[in-house]
Structure 1
Amino acid sequence: MEQGAQPFDFGRKVDPNTFEKLIQDGYEVDPSKYLKEGWEVFKSRPGEFIVFSVIIFVVIGLFSRLDFIGPLATTAVISPLYAGFIVVIFMLFKGREVQFGDFFKGFNYFLPLVLAGIVSGILVGIGFALLLLPGIYLAVSYMFVSMLIVDYRMEFWQAMETSRQIVTKNWFSLFVFFLLLFVVNLLGVLALGIGLLVTIPLSICSVCVAYRDIVGLHEAGELTT
């Protein structure tokens, strides 16, 4: 995490020129490579990934019992928990020592993550309600939002727009990757649901590999306290 950043700040604006060349020139997409390397990342810490997934499932179960504020409360908690996977995976990419408590450092990015989760959820929902295809487009296009927030401490709207612009450059190839991850998680569901404890963190590891290969990790970023 960047020094001095606080959980309840809005993040920061990043120079858009940082991504201009990538958006203009494009990039190659290799879904099978992302999944294969994501599996290697998962295998490096299988116990911690699975235990943290159990914690997330328990949290979702608890908040689902809340009638009125349940959906909002779930978003407010799940978004940072999901980002905890990203924090740990990026630390592993950078060869840093990881402790189980690092999974909870997604809360260091609380406000931009929650705002991104709420706004993107609303936009994707509207897209599905209207014509279906806009919802699918946005769901895939926002693939890298949480990664950009964690990696750059980026404010939520710029993260959403930057992810959309990057993904749109090679949207159909990343849609194939998205479908591959959907099938992987469907297999997790068919395995009595228990398989999701493996397939969900595996999917996040794979998306992080895709982010690393396509966008590149922000070398100045600090993922410690």
Structure 2
Amino acid sequence: MNTEPSLRREPKRHPMGRGWVWIRTGFEIFNRGMGASVAMIVLWFVVGLVLDQLPAGGLISQLLYMVWGAGWVAVARRGFKGQSLQFADFFAGFRHRLTPLVLGGLLVLGMLGLILLVCFALLHLWDLTGLLAQNPETLTLTPAQAQGFLLCLLLGMALVVPMLMAITFAPALIFFQGVGVLQAARLSFMGCLRNIWPFLWWGLIGALLMLLGAALFLVGLLVVLPAINYSIYAAYRDIYLEEETITEQTPPTREFGFEA
């Protein structure tokens, strides 16, 4: 499956404006298979809703996190090369490198559990855990207790950021390059850290687009979410692969399609 160029010795650093190039490339990939992209995002949501109804559905969803992530980058790879997107590629993670991808999902679950453990330990230290069992409708907090909960929430959010950095590119690195789970997490973290400014720009643009998509009666999210997922593949090629794959040139014009 590894027909990708070889990995750089170290992730490449890019200027802040590169974040927009990744977003734009994601929309260009979306244009090569709008119907398939919408079908994939709908299936993704439906499977998630079904799993939420199962006793161990939440656990299964976490374990499949990187499996689905590999599917998104597999689809994006075909579109990046100018080919039409194929719905079947969305299941590529179930056919190739399934075990390490599931182990990657287990790593995500472990990191989330560790973050929750740290937050719970702080709540216990500040004698706030008893309040969690009270009825939210009748719960009253003193200013000190409210401050404690707020600090714990902010700490949890701060710890989630490095976790996201460690898992953003891990599915692509595991699926295409065959690296180990821990090595993929390390490389993903380093790639994000070296490109913190373009990813800040990427995140701001992505957040604005998702707000716009939600404002359009959620229909816009059927376009925005696949495009953002595809943009992760564009960033992966730009940061980790030896060849220079994304240019600032205007993409070829298309007779039909959604242009970002």
Could you tell me the percent identity over the aligned residues?
Answer: 27
Alignment partner, residue 73 of structure 1: 60
Determine if contact 1:56/1:78 at 8 Å carries over to the other structure. Answer: no
Q: 1:136 aligns with which of 161, 175, 199?
A: 161
User: How far off its partner does 1:203 sit?
Assistant: 0.5
Q: Does 1:212 align with 2:237?
A: yes
Q: 1:101 aligns with which of 88, 94, 111?
A: 88
Alignment partner, residue 89 of structure 1: 76
The Cα RMSD (Å) is 2.7
Q: 2:50 aligns with which of 53, 59, 62?
A: 62
User: How far off its partner does 1:142 sit?
Assistant: 2.8
User: Could you list the per-position Cα deviations for residues 36-92 of structure 1 after superposition, in whole angstroms to 9, with x for gaps in the alignment?
Assistant: 12111101110101011111111011101013x111111234532332121121123
User: How far off its partner does 1:137 sit?
Assistant: 2.9
Distance in 2 between residues matched to 1:147 and 1:201, nearest whole Å: 16
Determine if contact 1:149/1:159 at 8 Å carries over to the other structure. Answer: yes
Distance in 2 between residues matched to 1:168 and 1:143, nearest whole Å: 11
Determine if contact 1:126/1:135 at 8 Å carries over to the other structure. Answer: no
Which residue identity is paired with 1:118?
L
Distance in 1 between residues matched to 2:242 and 2:10, nearest whole Å: 15
Distance in 2 between residues matched to 1:120 and 1:207, nearest whole Å: 18
SS of 2:15's equivalent? coil
Q: 1:20 aligns with which of 9, 12, 15?
A: 9
Unaligned runs of 5+ in 2: 120-151, 244-260
Aligned residues: 202
Distance in 2 between residues matched to 1:73 and 1:211, nearest whole Å: 26
Determine if contact 2:162/2:189 at 8 Å carries over to the other structure. Answer: no
Q: Does 1:183 align with 2:208?
A: yes
Which residue identity is paired with 1:22?
P
SS of 1:20's equivalent? coil
Determine if contact 2:67/2:98 at 8 Å carries over to the other structure. Answer: yes
Determine if contact 2:33/2:84 at 8 Å carries over to the other structure. Answer: no
Q: In 2 relative to 1, CA 86–60 (structure 1 residues): closer, same or farther, beyond 3 Å? A: same
Query: TM (normalized to structure 1)?
Result: 0.77
User: Could you list the per-position Cα deviations for residues 81-121 of structure 1 after superposition, in whole angstroms to 9, with x for gaps in the alignment?
Assistant: 33212112112334556533222112122222222223134
Query: TM (normalized to structure 2)?
Result: 0.68
Which of structures 1 and 2 has the bigger CA Rg? 2
Alignment partner, residue 144 of structure 2: none
Alignment partner, residue 9 of structure 1: none
Q: In 2 relative to 1, CA 105–149 (structure 1 residues): closer, same or farther, beyond 3 Å? A: same
SS of 2:101's equivalent? helix
Alignment partner, residue 47 of structure 1: 35
Unaligned runs of 5+ in 1: 4-14, 219-225
Which residue identity is paired with 1:188?
G
Determine if contact 2:168/2:188 at 8 Å carries over to the other structure. Answer: yes
User: How far off its partner does 1:185 sit?
Assistant: 2.3
Which residue identity is paired with 1:114?
V
